């Protein structure tokens, strides 16, 4: 079910969505950081894994290809990116569940199930403050006790160069939603949603600012 809520599309405007994969490959060097996300998740066959804001499916397809025994559930509000993602999964010969929906309502898509791990990459920086929090709370609700959270996103921009490069993202996605990330808000919001053991495991410099990989757990 799709509501009439608004969201920022993958590259800021719907007309750019078809270029998303090419832009992300070059501007974020995703071949370097996506495997770090997979490593941080440390998935095992049989686990239920949810990708919130899965977009064109690059992270979800990588995870399912690396660990075929997982049950992968990918959620995004944008039918345009989901169409690209489905085609990508088909080409990679991997099967997963695709759901059209918002991240702060993601737990509603699991029914009676609970997740072993939740991942979200490059989503929170383009969401309003209440939605950033809502997505983290939804992730917390859907996880089993002891379940893992891995967030990869533009986090605290620590240097003049990274802040300057991050301006490109801010021009595309707007300053209101992106600036709190650049100021380091994710390190506050993740524990505020109930998560324990927060660690900023990697800070990865890119041509569009630094991407941080945050790991935390729902207390057992």
Ligand X SMILES: C[S@@+](CC[C@H](N)C(=O)[O-])C[C@H]1O[C@@H](n2cnc3c(N)ncnc32)[C@H](O)[C@@H]1O
Side by side, the strands of the sheet bearing 209-217 are 97-100, 71-76, 48-52, 115-121, 143-154, 209-217, 196-206
* Cα–Cα distances in angstroms (integers) from residue 148 to residues 49, 129, 136, 196, in the given order: 10, 22, 12, 10
Span from 63-71, 122-130, 192-200, 207-215 in contact with ligand X (CB under 6 A):
122-130
Among positions 62-121, residues that touch ligand X (CB under 6 A) are 76-78, 81, 102-103, 121
- The window from 46-54, 91-99, 179-187, 211-219 that contacts ligand X (CB under 6 A) reads 46-54
Name the one range near ligand X by CB under 6 A: 49-57, 87-95, 187-195, 209-217. 49-57
Binding status of residue 53 toward ligand X by CB under 6 A: yes
Q: Where does this chain touch ligand X (CB under 6 A) — which range of 8-16, 177-185, 193-201, 212-220?
A: 8-16
Query: Given the complex with ligand X, which of 150 and 160 has the nearer CB atom?
Result: 150
Asked if 155 touches ligand X (CB under 6 A), the answer is: no
Which runs of E-coded beta strand occur in 77-156? 97-100, 115-121, 143-154
Q: Are 97 and 73 in contact (CB under 8 A)?
A: yes
Note whether 131 and 99 are within 8 A (CB): no
Within 10 Å of residue 65's Cβ, how many Cβ atoms? Answer: 14
- Judged by CB under 6 A, the residue of 59, 181, 208, 210 near ligand X is 59
Contact between 131 and ligand X by CB under 6 A: the answer reads yes
Asked if 47 interacts with ligand X (CB under 6 A), we say: no
Asked if 172 touches ligand X (CB under 6 A), the answer is no
């Amino acid at each position: 079910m799709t509501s009439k809520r608004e969201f920022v599309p993958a590259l800021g405007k719907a007309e750019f969505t078809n270029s998303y994969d090419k832009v992300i490959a070059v501007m974020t060097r995703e071949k370097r950081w996506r495997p770090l996300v997979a490593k941080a998740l440390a998935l095992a066959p049989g686990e239920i894994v949810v990708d919130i804001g899965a977009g064109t499916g690059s992270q979800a397809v990588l995870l399912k290809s690396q660990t075929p025994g997982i049950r992968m559930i990918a959620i995004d509000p944008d039918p345009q990116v989901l169409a690209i993602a489905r085609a990508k999964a088909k080409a990679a010969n991997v099967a997963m569940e695709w759901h059209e929906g918002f991240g702060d309502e993601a737990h509603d898509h699991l029914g009676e199930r609970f997740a072993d791990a939740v991942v979200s990459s490059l989503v929170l920086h383009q969401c309003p403050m209440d939605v950033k929090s809502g997505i983290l709370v939804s992730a917390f609700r859907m996880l089993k006790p002891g379940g893992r959270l891995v967030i990869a996103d533009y986090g605290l921009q620590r240097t003049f160069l990274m802040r300057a490069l991050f301006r490109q993202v801010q021009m595309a996605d707007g300053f209101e939603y992106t600036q709190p990330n650049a100021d380091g808000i994710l390190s506050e919001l993740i524990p505020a949603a109930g998560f324990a053991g927060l660690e900023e495991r990697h800070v990865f410099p890119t041509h569009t600012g630094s991407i941080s990989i945050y790991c935390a757990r729902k207390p057992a």
